Structure 1
Amino acid sequence: MWETPYFSYAVRELPKGCQMCVRGEKLVLFTTGACPRDCFYCPLSPWRREDVVYANERPVKRIDDIIEEAKIQEARGAGVTGGDPLARLDRTAEYIRALKEQFGEKFHVHLYTTGALTTKKALEKLYDAGLDEIRFHPDLFNPNSRLFRVEIENIKNAFDFDWDVGGEVPAVPGQGERIKWFAEFLDGLGAKFLNINELEFSETNLRNLLDKGYRPISDESSAIKGSLELGLEILRWGEENTSLSYHLCTSKLKDAVQLRNRLRRMAKNVAKPYMEITEDGTLRFGIAEYEDLDELYTLLVEEAEVPGEWLYVNREKGRIEMPEEVAVELAEAIEGDVRFFIVEEYPTWDRIEVERIPLP
């Protein structure tokens, strides 16, 4: 077992999909919130539990939205997720095929599925579309259910095709023996890897996890007590007892590495000249707010003598954007009801604001 440079742990080689993901090179393609299961630890937000499509944070209405988002990110691959993408099989296959046609065969696509819907016919459609890697997440912690038995049988179908097959499950404290059983099952079929995710709280699974006795490791973290330790135990056991590769994907990796690297790739393609790209990949700049933007623009250009090319009127957000240093100078010089701030935003489609500093 070895510690990666990404705050995670591995046995043998990381799956190709993971290698690209940690570098921020994977577009996250959410093809539907529909799913045949209702896992108690599911972290999906309420608005993603519907039949919706997103490319990263961008709502998708047509295939061109996906292509545009991939270009902005300079993505070299995509991770197809849900819900269960096979709940909308034709749509998912169409998107995979479109990405391959646009960016070429080297554009690496991996997909997550429960296994409930992976019939031979469905898998053949995904394979023909160009899928490179498939990751199974069966109802492992409900082994007596009929659905679990169907999933286990369906997983066997994946080995009829020339792609990488593996599993991906959360490290649920108290469920170590079930995860080890799954590892041995995959290893016996000739799978390549098993990914273990550190279990985390979210807005939607919080009550379920608390009711089952799980607790966060601290007030500042969403990670669950005992999950990381179980993941490490599985890796140590797996290294000695199976031939699989393992990757323990930690809560810190997702926030401090994967997201940051993706933001950096996007920021350089969406930043306007007056925006500074921070170390974290956010966009930092100054803004001025006033009830009449046209009046404010005239004031800044004609009276404060700010060059017009330094200013951008953002009517949607009700503000005028500008370089940070310009906002600092204007805040000291202009009195009245004009409000100046330094803001930081994600370079994503939804432009989430992560910081706002009032001036002066």
Structure 2
Amino acid sequence: MAKDKLPKNLSEGCRLCYQGAKLVLFITGKCDRDCWYCPLSEERKNVDVIFANDQKITTPEEAIPEAEVMDALGTGVTGGEPLLELDRVVEFCTYLKNHFGPDHHIHLYTGHAPTEEELAALRPCVDEIRMHPPHEEWAGIMTSKFPESIANAKRMGFCVGIEVPSLAGLRHFFPLLDSLDFFNINQLEWGDSCAEAMRARKLEPENPLCNAIKGSTKWAGEINGHPKVHYCTSTFKDSVQLRERLKRIAMNSARPFDMITDDGTVMYGSMDPGADLEMILPCLKAGSYYEEMDDGTIELDWQQMRKIPRKFGGERKIIERYPNDGMIVEVIPQ
């Protein structure tokens, strides 16, 4: 997405997210809250694991290839509750800053109101703090620990905002808006891990084709319209943010014969050459690439595969998948 088309009320972290330019660093699944609307999968929820985008890692060094393959301009640190592993956060973020330079923008998402000691530890390696007050604290937000934490973070030089899901009660944040740099509302979404809790509250998706919860946009309207407030829809996250990140990864990882789609996935042909490989190769355009796989198949430009006479080889299919050997989206027999 072009910078001139971005909404004006975005933090720097969000601007980079809009461009698909932020590595997502899931620092731990451990959390001392039990928010009923938490969308984390069983693979991550309350499990002490680390992911760089969708790649499971254990060390800061392992995060670098994941950032480089997407030309990341920054990193978003999330969880779980990152501050439960403060030393790990500092270790990873410091390594990323040292490797990519001080302009590598890092934002951190936390359900805590960070203390002065925690903020001091984060200050050399984190640029932006996004606080997520749990829903049960919204009504008493002005007498909670969050206003003092926000003031301390601002004084120490952080960009500071709040990021919460679109639930009833957002009006309670009105008195806090002037002290913030930004306020993000994420459209409430249906998730497998929180489906039971949502059914218990009589919540349901807007329609069978999306995860957005019916009524969530109305709840956002309690404060949406204020110049510091940005409402991030589930449609945007699926159709723009993820797509732009995939495109960045695809541009750096696609093989010469992979076709990059408008959605950021890659498409290629796969066929069993049988004993006919020597006969198949002359059918390809001069200078064309192909790759021999461990299972005996070859992968190649899917359009050229279609032009190979049927008398050669065996099974053929077109494969669409996420870039960098990611999840398969579709297999089309030929």
Confirm whether residue 310 of structure 1 aligns to residue 289 of structure 2: yes
Q: Which residue of 1 aligns with 2:59?
A: 62
2:104 to 84, 107, 110: 107
Q: Which residue of 1 aligns with 2:217?
A: 228
SS in 1 for 2:230: strand
SS in 2 for 1:109: strand
SS in 2 for 1:230: helix
Q: Which residue of 2 aligns with 1:358?
A: 333
Q: Give the AA of the match of 2:213.
A: I
Q: Which residue of 2 aligns with 1:321?
A: 299
For the Cα contact (< 8 Å) 1:277–1:284, is it kept in 2?
Answer: yes
SS in 2 for 1:27: strand
1:73 to 64, 67, 70: 70
Q: 1:135 to 1:326 in 2, by over 3 A?
A: same
Q: Give the AA of the match of 1:59.
A: K
Q: Give the AA of the match of 2:195.
A: L
Q: Which residue of 2 aligns with 1:301?
A: 277
For the Cα contact (< 8 Å) 2:320–2:331, is it kept in 1?
Answer: yes
Q: 1:212 to 1:152 in 2, by over 3 A?
A: farther
2:82 to 60, 80, 85: 85
Displacement of 1:16 after TM fit?
1.1
SS in 2 for 1:48: coil
Displacement of 1:55 after TM fit?
0.8
Quick one: distance in 2 between partners of 1:279 and 1:333? 33
For the Cα contact (< 8 Å) 1:67–1:99, is it kept in 2?
Answer: yes
Quick one: distance in 2 between partners of 1:102 and 1:267? 22
Confirm whether residue 271 of structure 1 aligns to residue 254 of structure 2: yes
For the Cα contact (< 8 Å) 1:29–1:54, is it kept in 2?
Answer: yes
Quick one: distance in 2 between partners of 1:28 and 1:318? 35
Displacement of 1:106 after TM fit?
1.1
TM-score, length basis structure 2: 0.89
Displacement of 1:355 after TM fit?
1.4
For the Cα contact (< 8 Å) 2:27–2:88, is it kept in 1?
Answer: yes
Displacement of 1:134 after TM fit?
0.2
SS in 2 for 1:341: strand
Q: Which residue of 2 aligns with 1:292?
A: none
Q: Which residue of 1 aligns with 2:185?
A: 196
For the Cα contact (< 8 Å) 1:109–1:132, is it kept in 2?
Answer: yes
Quick one: distance in 2 between partners of 1:152 and 1:34? 25
Q: Which residue of 2 aligns with 1:131?
A: 126
For the Cα contact (< 8 Å) 1:114–1:151, is it kept in 2?
Answer: no
Q: 1:217 to 1:283 in 2, by over 3 A?
A: same
Residues 311-346 of structure 1 show CA distances to partners (whole Å, capped at 9, x for unaligned) of 31232x7742111123213473336xx321011111
Quick one: distance in 1 between partners of 2:222 and 2:331? 42
Displacement of 1:13 after TM fit?
2.1
Confirm whether residue 288 of structure 1 aligns to residue 266 of structure 2: no
SS in 1 for 2:43: helix
1:17 to 6, 13, 18: 13
Confirm whether residue 347 of structure 1 aligns to residue 311 of structure 2: no
TM-score, length basis structure 1: 0.83
Quick one: distance in 2 between partners of 1:340 and 1:314? 14
SS in 2 for 1:194: strand
Q: 1:25 to 1:224 in 2, by over 3 A?
A: same
Q: Give the AA of the match of 1:332.
A: R
Quick one: distance in 1 between partners of 2:180 and 2:139? 24
SS in 2 for 1:46: coil
In structure 1, stretches of 5+ residues that fail to align are 240-244, 290-295
User: What RMSD over aligned residues (CA atoms) do the two structures have, in Å?
Assistant: 2.5
Confirm whether residue 170 of structure 1 aligns to residue 145 of structure 2: no
Q: Give the AA of the match of 1:345.
A: R
Displacement of 1:142 after TM fit?
4.7
Identity of aligned residues (%): 38
Q: Which residue of 1 aligns with 2:115?
A: 119
Q: 1:208 to 1:287 in 2, by over 3 A?
A: same
SS in 1 for 2:17: helix
Q: Give the AA of the match of 2:250.
A: A
Quick one: distance in 1 between partners of 2:118 and 2:243? 35
Quick one: distance in 2 between partners of 1:183 and 1:60? 40
Confirm whether residue 206 of structure 1 aligns to residue 195 of structure 2: yes
Quick one: distance in 2 between partners of 1:133 and 1:183? 21
User: What are the within-5 Å matches in structure 2 for residues 1-40 of structure 1?
Assistant: 13-40=9-36
For the Cα contact (< 8 Å) 2:138–2:173, is it kept in 1?
Answer: no
Q: 1:92 to 1:333 in 2, by over 3 A?
A: same
Residues 138-161 of structure 1 show CA distances to partners (whole Å, capped at 9, x for unaligned) of 11335689xx94566545542341
Figure out how many residues of one structure are paired with residues of the other and give that number. Answer: 326
SS in 2 for 1:355: strand
SS in 1 for 2:123: helix
